[in-house]
Amino acid sequence: MSGNAERLARKKFHLFLNLKSEEEVAKALFDAGAILPAGKPFNPATFTPAERQAFKRSWSLSTEDEVDEALGLAGLVTIMVGDLVGAAKTAKYPLIVAKAASAAAQISDEQLRKVVPVLRRRGFSWTQIGGALGMTKQAAWERFSGED
């Protein structure tokens, strides 16, 4: 670990000292940039051929290279797929479930706002970006263009 990375890790670790409640821990995790996945861990190395095909279809991918790249991004992107309703019913501090889901959504939205301009600079159309995001080109442009 480089000196800068080590200093940053120590700074983030200090966020967790002397915490007294789950709410304080949740805030410290959020402030440290952690996203905690719910449910079964996502491990693309254990996908069966049928699971790979289902993933390929669900993401509308065309080639195995696209599948490999999408699965390779699993370390960068964590998708929350747990039983959040069940967690809210049984958690000692159920508001933390909503806060965690909200924090994950906020982080995802912030990252998406950074990714879309890169896609535009790489020559992708609003139609292609909207399609990838499950929205129309107009909706994508309105949300991400920065123009009124």
pLDDT digits (tens, 9 = 90+) for 10-47: 665 555 666 676 667 666 666 665 555 545 555 677 78
pLDDT band for position 78 (cuts 50, 70, 90): low
DSSP letter at 17?
T
How far apart CA 87 and CA 24 sit, in angstroms, is 18
pTM of the model: 0.54
Cβ of 71: how many Cβ atoms within 10 Å? 19
Q: What pLDDT was estimated at residue 11?
A: 62
Task: Say how many Å lie between the first and final Cα of the chain, rounded.
Answer: 44
Residue that is written with structure tokens 């909200």 in the block: 102
Over the chain, what is the mean pLDDT?
A: 76
How far apart CA 17 and CA 142 sit, in angstroms, is 43
Residue that is written with structure tokens 């120590």 in the block: 10
What region does 59 belong to: left with phi over 0, alpha with psi -120 to 50, or beta?
alpha
pLDDT band for position 119 (cuts 50, 70, 90): very high
pLDDT, tens digit, 9 for 90 and up, residues 64-75: 888 888 777 755
